[in-house]
Structure formats: C-alpha cells, structure tokens
C-alpha cells in the first residue's frame, strides 16, 4: 500500500506537469484534485478546504499596503496543493515568500515538482523545508537565515499535538504580525486532539478572533481561521 501511494504521488506530479500549463496555478490545482479524486489517492485537501486557505491568507494580508511582499508559513505541505492555494492568494504580492515544511520525503518530492511547475513566472520565493522530526527551533533558525522577520499568515497541517506549542513559540518570538492569520484543518474530525488549541485561540481569548467554517468536500469537517489581534502578554 505504501509503495503504491509513493508511486501515486510521483504519477500525480507527472499528471499535473503534463496537463496544466506552466505558471497556471489554478489549472495546476484543478489537475491535482482531478487526478487524486480519479485514482482515489486521498492526497488532496479538496476545493472547499483549499479555498479556506486562500481566504485565510488574504485575510492575513489585510492592512498591508497594496503590492507589499508577504510572508506565509505552511507547516505540513503534503504534496503541494495547499501551497498552490497560498500561491493563488499571493498573485499580486510580488517578492513574497512561502516557507513550507514536510516530513514525508515522497510527499515533499511531489510538492517540489508541482509547485515549481505552477509557480513559473511568479515572483514568489518558495522555500521547502524537509522536517522529518518536528523542530520549531530549527525552523525559527531557517526563517532568520532567509531574512523572514515577520509572518502575515500561517497554515497548520502537521502533527496536531504541535499546533499549540508551535503557535505559542511563534507568538513569543513576535513573528506573527498583528492582523495575521492561522488556518487549521480537521477541527471537527480531530476535535479531541485539537481541543486545547481551539480553547487557546477562541474568540476573546489570548488575543485571537476565530471563525469556524464547515466544509463537505472531500468529507464533512470544519476549518478554523484565527486572526491575531495582539495582546500585552502571552
């Protein structure tokens, strides 16, 4: 099963590259979802979840002067469809940066091919980070080395038990810009695992305003989009 899935990821990237014009983010995302659905790979977030990523990033950019480069952190990029949704939100932000982590080598290899193809001609810097073992301190070092001193939006889709401690570390380092956003997946399906995280970011708590959205594609679930309003102390 595992070998088949790995082969499926390579074939998925092949399909996107063959059937979507280079530099066409929307076409690449469409072909990604199309192939994953057709082959029942379960590798795609789905159109509805992808749209919530794009919407969350756009919300996090509110207040930035038009055309100002943005910085987005994606923890858990899988095979790259979430990254494509982020790219779509940054179309009119030349010079922007996306930092994406992934611990699965095969998923990251597929993401590198898919994103490189879809982002041709886009003035966006994409930095994929291989993180086989969770290490927020190493990641902070990577951000510093890449000259990223603020984050406008974040997408969390890595290990659920790390959502809260990673968010708290990022807030302690004052990296998330006031007005910036955090989007998390599986709020309904993994409610128990995410209960402490959701309590922390609940509206009126710890400087956040949080909206929970229901989605039905590719399965019934909920997404949380939290906006950081700032607080004197964490």
Average pLDDT over residues 195-217: 93
Phi, psi of 160 (to 5 degrees): -60, -35
Chain mean position to CA 5: 22
d(CA 10, CA 176) in angstroms, rounded, equals 34
Each residue of 58-76: pLDDT tens digit? 999 998 998 899 999 999 9
The domain total for the chain is 1
> Helices 105-118 and 25-39 meet at what angle, rounded to 10?
140
Each residue of 132-179: pLDDT tens digit? 877 899 999 999 999 999 999 999 999 999 999 999 999 999 999 999
Confidence of residue 181 (pLDDT cuts 50, 70, 90): very high
Within-domain flag for 86: yes
d(CA 33, CA 28) in angstroms, rounded, equals 9
Within-domain flag for 60: yes
What token pair was written down for 150? 């603020």
Q: Which domain does 121 fall in, by range?
A: 44-228
Residue spans of beta strands (DSSP E) within the chain: 71-75, 96-102, 124-130, 151-156, 176-184, 208-215, 221-228
Within-domain flag for 117: yes
Confidence of residue 2 (pLDDT cuts 50, 70, 90): very low
Provide, rounded to the nearest whole percent, the portion of the chain with pLDDT above 90.
Answer: 82
Confidence of residue 41 (pLDDT cuts 50, 70, 90): low
CATH code for the domain in which residue 87 is found: 3.40.50.150
């Amino acid at each position: 099963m595992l070998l088949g899935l790995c082969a499926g990821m390579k074939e998925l990237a092949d399909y996107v590259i063959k059937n979507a014009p280079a530099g066409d983010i929307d076409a690449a995302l469409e072909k990604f979802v199309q192939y994953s659905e057709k082959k029942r790979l379960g590798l795609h977030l789905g159109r509805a979840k992808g749209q919530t990523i794009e919407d969350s990033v756009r919300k996090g950019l509110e207040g930035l002067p038009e055309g100002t480069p943005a910085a987005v952190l994606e923890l858990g990029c899988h095979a790259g469809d979430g990254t494509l949704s982020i790219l779509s939100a940054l179309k009119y932000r030349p010079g922007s940066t996306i930092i994406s982590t992934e611990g699965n080598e095969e998923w990251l290899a597929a993401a590198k091919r898919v994103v490189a193809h879809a982002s041709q001609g886009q003035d966006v810097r994409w930095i994929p980070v291989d993180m086989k073992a969770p290490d927020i301190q190493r990641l902070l070092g990577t951000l510093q080395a890449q000259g990223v001193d603020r984050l406008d939006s974040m997408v969390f889709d890595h290990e659920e038990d790390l959502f809260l401690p990673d968010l708290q570390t990022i807030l302690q380092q004052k990296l998330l810009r006031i007005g910036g956003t955090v989007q998390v997946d599986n709020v309904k399906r993994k409610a128990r695992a995410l209960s402490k995280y959701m309590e922390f970011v609940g509206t009126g708590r710890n400087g956040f305003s949080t909206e929970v959205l229901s989605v039905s594609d590719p399965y019934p679930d909920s997404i949380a989009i939290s906006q950081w309003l700032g607080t004197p102390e964490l």
